[in-house]
Amino acid sequence: MVLIMKTVDDLKSPNISFISVTQMLSLIQTYSAGMLIEGIAEHIKEDFIRWDDFDKSPRFAAHSQEGVIELMPTGNSDKFSFKYVNGHPKNTKVGLQTVTAFGVLSDVASGYPLMLSEMTILTALRTAATSALVAEYLAPKNSSILAMIGCGAQSEFQILAFKHILGITHVKLYDIDPSAMTKCADNLKNYDINIELCSNAHEVVCGAHIITTCTADKKNATILTSDMVSDGVHINAIGGDCPGKTELEDKLLERATVFVEYEPQTRIEGDIQQLTSTSPVIEMHHVIRGTKAGRTNDNQLTIFDGVGFAIEDYSALRYMYNLVKNTNQFQQIELVASPENPRNLFGLLDSSNINHADCKGVA
């Protein structure tokens, strides 16, 4: 059995834990995507309950014409984490993904990194977990029909989360690219979900209790207009997550009760960037802690303007760390130098300390 570093002695080891893409896929095979989404959702809930313990700030975003590269840090007195993530909607045209990510979890007491993980797949799991957790508080009772608009990389994860956590049984799909819909339907054919393909956005929202918008386009799009949506529905709007990149008509937002993760970040990045800075919104941690109401009546139109917040990534990394720490389902990589005498870093340059087997190709 391999143990992840925890004690000071453990931290003196030169290795940190690494979850590669292959290992993440193997963990999903072992535990199932549904179970991991549920576990991450529980950890997000625990961390939202202790919201005040975290350092919080809007994420750092380096914008370019084609996309954005972001850093998402947060921490409390125990652990610190950050995620590197990009968002490049045109990438799929050249065979690259819109969103890729990796992240680090660290020990606050020593400042040493504990774990480095792939987070492209983990982000899809945690975004799905967040959507379903939020919908537990906001969706109409006994919701069974989900409309999924945008059938790209995130879509199957979203649908599985709504099945596992909300009990959704019927999913209507719509994407401007029909091949994205058939890909999604095909991937979910063994998951016991009724799937219906739709030919436009009006058709897909008809009769749905929950509508997820998860499209990618670097513009102020109008995927949903107010006249398309009935009262009583819950909208999980997660594709609008950058300045100048939105999905909902402003009139629809004005009609609804709007819920967000962290207001200072969502004002910059979310669909509410179209509204005045004083438009009313409710941060979800209040609802989860019971200090503010979620859905209050059957006719209420609720919108979760989700942009993805650092605490959700912290929760996902914390969950994965706890899941693998007493197993061998991770690799160890030599990321941190560990001289025997911590003040003799230079001593490592002594050739007798270098393992030449690790330095092939160096003259």
Rg (CA), the chain: 22
- List Cβ neighbours of 115 (8 Å cut-off, separation of 6 or more): 4, 16, 17, 18, 19, 104, 105, 317, 320, 321, 330
Is residue 214 near ligand NAD by the rule CB under 6 A?
A: yes
Tokens describing residue 105: 């979890």
Structure tokens at 70: 């972001």
Which residue type sits at 238?
Answer: I
CA–centroid distance for 261 within its chain: 12
Is 127 a binding residue for ligand NAD by CB under 6 A? The answer is: yes
Asked if 217 touches ligand NAD (CB under 6 A), the answer is yes
Quick one: which of 115, 208, 216, 324 contacts ligand NAD (CB under 6 A)?
216
Q: Is there a catalytic annotation at residue 241?
A: yes
- Which CB, 73 or 239, lies closer to ligand NAD? 239
Nearest to 211 by CA among 172, 259, 261, 253: 172
| Residue closest to ligand NAD, measured at CB | 152
Distance separating alpha carbons of residues 82 and 38, to the nearest angstrom: 22
Least distance in angstroms from the C-beta of 244 to ligand NAD = 12
302-305 and 282-283: which strand pairing? unpaired
220 is a site residue for ligand NAD (CB under 6 A): no
Give the C-alpha separation, 204 to 186, whole Å: 18
Shortest Å distance, C-beta 85 to ligand NAD: 8
User: Which one, 38 or 175, has the nearer CB to ligand NAD?
Assistant: 175
Q: Kindly identify the residues of this chain, within the stretch 299-338, that bind ligand NAD according to CB under 6 A.
A: 306-308
CB of 79 to ligand NAD, least distance (A): 21
Task: Name the token pair of 277.
Answer: 């800075």
User: Using CB under 6 A, which of 58, 73, 140, 239 touches ligand NAD?
Assistant: 239
- At 305, phi and psi to the nearest 5? -90, 80
Q: Name the residues annotated as catalytic.
A: 241
Binding site for ligand NAD (CB under 6 A): 87, 89, 92, 98-99, 123, 127, 149-154, 174-177, 180, 214-217, 221, 223, 238-239, 241, 306-308
